[in-house]
Structure 1
Amino acid sequence: MEWFTASGYWLSRLVFQRSLAALYVIAFVAAANQFRALIGANGMLPVPRFTARVPFRRSPSLFHLHYSDRFFALVAWGGAALSAAVVAGAADAVPLWASMVMWAVMWALYLSVVNVGQVWYGFGWESLLLEAGLLGLFLGNARTAPPVLVLWLVRWLLFRVEFGAGLIKMRGDRCWRDLTCLYYHHETQPMPGPLSWFFHHLPKPLHRVETAANHMAQLVVPVLLFTPQPVASVAAGIVIVTQLWLVASGNFAWLNWLTIVLAFAAVDGARAADVLGLPRPPASPAAPVWYEAVVLAFTVLVAVLSYWPARNLVSRGQLMNYSFNRLHLVNAYGAFGSITRVRMEVVVEGTADPDPGPGSRWLEYEFKGKPGDPRRLPRQFAPYHLRLDWLMWFAALSSLYAEPWLLALAARLLANDRDTLKLLRRNPFPDAPPAYVRARLFRYRFTGPRELRETGAWWRRNPVREYLPPVNAAVLGGVRYEA
């Protein structure tokens, strides 16, 4: 069927699939590096405890069949290796069916991780990566031209990501409607980046322009993705530029990068190749009948499952970052329906004093990404995902004890647990564990230009209250956290 493929989008598919596979590499490596402390057999939220109470039908995962830390590491590093092979072109060097198997294995392995990851994997970009991975599977490889239907499904996914985010803002916090949200956002976002201080100090009129431009990029431009070329390519370009602005201003794991990857699939590859002076590839053979049938069946499935996210877009009670099925096939997306005006941070400290009192010396644990030492410039980690740091931001928004997994964290710090300490930037007790740990809540504000010059501090902070009172190993013995 001539209408089935779009040979001019060969470059679009190449960029989409290779870049998407690179993000899978990052996701698997992040899982491999962090799982032991978070969800390992002796972690804060152990997978075996989760699978014992949650059946397979509610969380499909290989780890319902078997779990050990060694097996999880094999899955994570194996997924990273397979993804790296796809980045290197392995999926284009094998028959079409084998390429699809490679993508299917990548997707199934990461689905297995996400579905037992519990609160540590409760982010919208996990579902987005899984949904995009399935689209990568059905886009085929160099043995055939890209299927038109799947290219449209990629645009439909990008539309839901952007339009859903735009609607949740307009329905949410008033500051999005009066264009003042960015007076606060660069300072109070979950994990500021090295340029966030500078973005925060832009003139307020420019912040209003930023907000208005964001509304245009998320509420108007996504509709243009469904128009003929070159308008669709221009729309995709605007999405890419907008997302690069977000990359520069903060750390949102792979959310922005994945949105950029999705946008590339809407670019007219033939025109882009001509502009770049790339030679055109040889004509692709006709798509096999079995492949056409599989793509048609998948398209029908996505169309049926799209009912729920489409209804969600027009609902007054719009859900943000929600999966309507356990396979994360067609999801609802959105971000920052409300904006935090004040930045709170939980600062975790320990002391060697066996009987802490007013004169005890408390030393602060430093995290890799979240603000701590006021003199430390925030670092850029995205697209890598620091899960503990992100959850610490949510903990700061909660009331006392609202995040009981902090007790599990405290218990591991009291034991100088090696896997937990790997998630931190600095352990103030390298030789022997502390006798007590505690957590205090601080308010953080960016310093002004003059204060930065005089003190070298990027932040000023003021204590608010005690978050977790001093606890020792005896108090926390047998602590368990049920998600």
Structure 2
Amino acid sequence: MEWLSWFDAADYEFARQVLQRGVAALFFVAFLSSLNQFPALLGERGLLPVPDYLAGFSRLRRPSLFRRHYSDRLLRGVCVTGLVVSALLVAGIPQVGPPWVPLLAFLALWLLYMSIVNVGQAFYGFGWEMLLLEAGFTVAFLGSDQTDPPRTILIMIVWLVFRLEFGAGMIKIRGGREWRDLTALYYHHETQPMPGPLSRQAHLLPKPLHRIEVVGNHAAQLVVPFLLFFPQPVASAAAAVVILTQLWLVASGNFAWLNWIAIVLAFAAVSDPVVHAVFPAVPLDWHGETAPGRETPLWWLVLTLAATGLLLVLSYRPLRNLLSRRQLMNASFNRWQLVNTYGAFGTVTKQRIEIVVAGTLDEDPDESSDWREYGFKGKPGDLRRIPRQWAPYHLRLDWLMWFLPLRTVHEEWFHAFLGKLLEADRQTLRLLRHDPFDGAAPRWVRVRLYHYRFTDRRELRETGNRWMRTLLSEPIGPVSLRRTPGRQR
């Protein structure tokens, strides 16, 4: 039907391939992260057990398969199912069939992961969780190899990228003064929640380059997003800027899948002719002689336009939020976590305060006791250790540890964590990089706060350390199973 020529975006097949397979790959990472960590953090014997959480509601109002019953076995079943479905989508198998096949596959991922997020409490309270859910729902309507990509859905994905980038930019402009006086990146590379292997080198760049970084960030988040809606090749060029800036963030830190999903979604603005012009090896005709015969069924057109209409209606409150002086960051306006508002780092922490947990086997501990420190996988601890690259994998315990000094160390889950260390709980110890007692239970643990900073080049040569630290306080400890936390020093 000729009147469908605008609706069918035949020259965005490469974009569809990246969007479907990329979002599915990130769902795979998310389910893998949950499979490995959820039971220890939130399971039946976790730090914040889901059964206790559900018991606090007469009825959980957010959609979840665990609303009436939770078990670690059911959680693992949900994760394994999510892993299998996402792997099939990465391989492109559902996309070979009719458009309803990948639609159902992505909606299954959306519902399964939403079930986890909605009982995940503090460990799932980050913007990239709802971002993945919204992306999964929207990408579900991109169709299959039997139809051309629907243009309206591509536009809604571009609208998602706009909200993600422009929302983050406005949060910064309305936030801390450091973003307006261009000094934010004097600190950010050092104080971000989980540094990566190149974070120290980024921190040691000359301060004029840090100021240029901030200017570039403002341009990429406040100006470039508007260009995503322009005709080609301007839209593709704008998407390239988004992709390159996000790759710099990938290289300089660990932000779970936040940067990777922004990269994937930005391809919604990239057309096949532009991709072919830059990379001639990428074909213009993805489906050979079958491409001209592809037609959009009427039922699929109606369904896709209905989904587009739903997303447009739900866009009212996020749009109003973008224009508000009291802009919310990482907020959802409906139970289904669709068309959300995003943003990050409205203010930048000036100093890095790290929690260091240590234990001892001594009966009566004092300063001369043999205190051994627990090692975490992602957060700084060992002064000589180069931070690892974990993203897009998400280390949930390490992330929450960064927030404790900014709020209080006396949070329920953290005291539960100390109790698990005193019990030498195996599933909790598996969340750590290093158990100094090799599975044995310490008699006492304590918590100290340190100021961490990156060493400069001279200090690295002289000491071999990548970090320097200074003791600030001991807010908890020593405590044992016979003695509750609370002793202050």
TM-score range, shorter chain: over 0.9
CA distance in structure 1 between the partners assigned to 2:292 and 2:192 by the alignment:
48
Cα RMSD of the aligned pairs, angstroms, is 1.4
- For residues 258 and 383 of structure 1, the distance between their equivalents in structure 2, rounded to whole angstroms, comes to 9
Name the stretch that deviates more: 321-330 or 92-101.
92-101
Residue in 1 that maps onto 2:205? 202
**Which TM-score applies when normalising by structure 2?**
0.95
Match of 1:9 in 2: 12
User: Does 1:243 pair with 2:252?
Assistant: no
Name the residue aligned to 1:348. 357
- Contact (CA 8 Å) 1:11, 1:270: kept in 2 or not? no
Q: Residues of 2 paired with 1:334 and 1:36: CA distance?
A: 29
- Partner in structure 1 of residue 280 of structure 2: 276
Indicate how the Cα distance of structure 1 residues 237 and 431 shifts in structure 2: closer, same or farther if over 3 A, else same. Answer: closer
Map Cα deviations across residues 460-481 of structure 1 (whole Å, 9 max, x no partner): 001100121211112359x9xx
Amino acid at match of 2:432: L
5 Å matches for 1:152-231? 152-231=155-234
SS at match of 2:483: helix
Asked if 1 retains the 8 angstrom alpha-carbon contact of 2:236 and 2:274, the reply is no
Q: Kindly indicate whether the alpha-carbon contact (under 8 Å) linking 1:254 and 1:384 is maintained by their aligned counterparts in 2.
A: yes
Structural mapping, 1:28-67, within 5 Å:
28-54=31-57, 58-67=61-70
Matching residue of 2:139: 136
Number of matched residues?
477
Question: Does residue 233 in structure 1 map to residue 236 in structure 2?
Answer: yes
Please name the residue that 1:321 is paired with. 330
Secondary structure of residue in 1 paired with 2:469: strand
Q: Is 1:99 the equivalent of 2:109?
A: no
Does the CA contact (< 8 Å) of 2:155 and 2:268 recur in 1? no
Q: Which runs of 4+ in 1 moved over 4 A?
A: none
Deviations along 1:400-434, one digit per CA (max 9) or x if unpaired, are 52x23110000100111111011100001115200
Of residues 320, 331, 334, the one that matches 1:311 is: 320
Q: Does 1:467 pair with 2:475?
A: yes
State how far apart, in whole Å, the 1-side matches of 2:232 and 2:253 are: 32
**Partner of residue 430 from structure 2, selected from 412, 422, 427:** 422
Q: Amino acid of the residue matched to residue 267 of structure 1?
A: V
| Counterpart secondary structure, 2:447 | strand
- Is there any run of 5+ residues in structure 1 with no aligned partner, and where? none
Unaligned runs of 5+ in 2: none
Distance in structure 2 (CA, Å) of the matches to 1:98 and 1:23: 19
Cα pair 1:167 1:313 within 8 Å, conserved: yes
Asked if 1:68 is matched to 2:71, the reply is yes
1:407 equivalent in alignment to 2:421: no
CA shift digits 1:194-249 (9 cap, x unpaired): 00000000000000000000000000000001111100000000000000000010
CA-CA distance at 1:396 after TM superposition: 2.1
Q: Which one-letter code corresponds to 1:327 in the other structure? A: W
* Alignment deviations for residues 275-296 of structure 1 (CA, whole Å, 9 cap, x no partner): 4333402235221111111111
Question: Partner residue of 2:294?
Answer: 285
Q: 2:292 and 2:59 mapped to 1: Cα distance?
A: 45
Matched ranges for 1:95-134 at <5 A: 95-134=98-137
1:348 CA drift (Å): 0.5
* 1:107-141 Cα shifts (integer Å, max 9, x gaps): 11001011110000000000000000011101111
**Which amino acid is the alignment partner of residue 342 of structure 2?**
Y
SS of 1:110 mapped into structure 2: helix
For residues 174 and 326 of structure 1, what CA distance do their matches in structure 2 show?
A: 34
For 1:327-342, what aligned pairs fall within 5 Å after superposition? 327-342=336-351
Residue 443 of structure 2 corresponds to which residue in structure 1? 435
2-structure distance, mates of 1:267, 1:431: 52
| Worse-superposed segment, 45-54 or 306-315 | 45-54
Is the contact between residue 60 and residue 67 of structure 2 (CA under 8 Å) also seen in structure 1?
A: no
SS, match of residue 276 in structure 1: coil
Q: Describe the shift of the 1:253–1:268 C-alpha distance in structure 2 as closer, same or farther (beyond 3 A).
A: same
Higher mean C-alpha deviation, range 58-67 or range 435-444? 58-67
- Give the AA of the match of 1:86: L
Q: What is the rounded CA distance, in whole Å, between the counterparts of 2:36 and 2:293 in structure 1?
A: 40
TM-score by length of 1: 0.96
Q: Could you tell me how far apart the structure 1 residues matched to 2:352 and 2:384 are?
A: 17
Conserved 8 A contact 2:189-2:199: yes
The amino acid across from 1:348 in the alignment is V
Distance of 2:49 and 2:124 partners within structure 1: 13
Q: Which amino acid aligns with 2:241?
A: I
CA distance in 2, matches of 1:463, 1:147: 58
Q: Distance in 2 between matches of 1:149 and 1:54?
A: 39
Q: Which moved more, 1:283-292 or 1:118-127?
A: 283-292
In percent, how many aligned pairs have the same letter?
56
- Closer, same or farther in 2 for the Cα pair 1:467/1:412, shift >3 Å? same
Aligned partners of 1:142 and 1:284 also within 8 Å? no
CA–CA distance in structure 2, aligned partners of residues 354 and 325 of structure 1? 53
**In 2: Cα distance, 1:411 partner to 1:94 partner:** 51
Task: Give the SS at the match of 2:66.
Answer: helix
Q: Write the distance in 2 (CA, Å) between the matches of 1:273 and 1:145.
A: 18
Distance in 1 (alpha carbons) for counterparts of 2:107 and 2:270: 25
Q: 1:55 to 1:308 in 2, by over 3 A?
A: farther
User: For residues 277 and 119 of structure 1, what CA distance do their matches in structure 2 show?
Assistant: 46
